């Protein structure tokens, strides 16, 4: 299986950006909050992309496993001997 590029779907980008906005707003409002810098924001997006990629990979593996099992059932159905008179 080839490695997927680390991308974020738009819904993940929106969630990260919403969090960033909330953190920046809180940092302006409260003296005990440190604002996120550009590096921290980039790191959040990188983490989100990695998490998304892991979920994608798990989904691909589950789909592959279902397909393997379906093919095995088809092979088993064609190779299992039938009992004469079983339908009667």
Q: What is the pLDDT of residues 2-55, one digit of tens each?
A: 555 577 888 888 999 999 999 999 999 999 888 889 999 988 998 898 888 888
The pLDDT of 55-65, averaged and rounded, is 88
- Cβ atoms of residues 4 and 56 within 8 Å: yes
Residue 1: per-residue pLDDT: 43
CA 84 vs. chain centroid, Å, equals 49
Is 69's pLDDT higher than 90? yes
pTM for the model: 0.58
38, HSE (Cβ side, Cα atoms, 13 Å): 0
């Amino acid at each position: 299986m080839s490695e997927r590029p680390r991308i974020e779907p738009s819904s993940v980008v929106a969630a990260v950006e919403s969090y960033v906005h909330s953190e920046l707003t809180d940092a302006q409002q409260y003296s005990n909050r440190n604002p996120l810098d550009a590096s921290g924001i980039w790191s959040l997006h990188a983490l989100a992309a990695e998490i998304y990629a892991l979920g994608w990979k798990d989904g691909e593996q589950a789909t592959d496993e279902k397909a393997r099992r379906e093919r095995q059932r088809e092979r088993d159905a064609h190779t299992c001997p039938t009992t004469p008179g079983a339908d009667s």
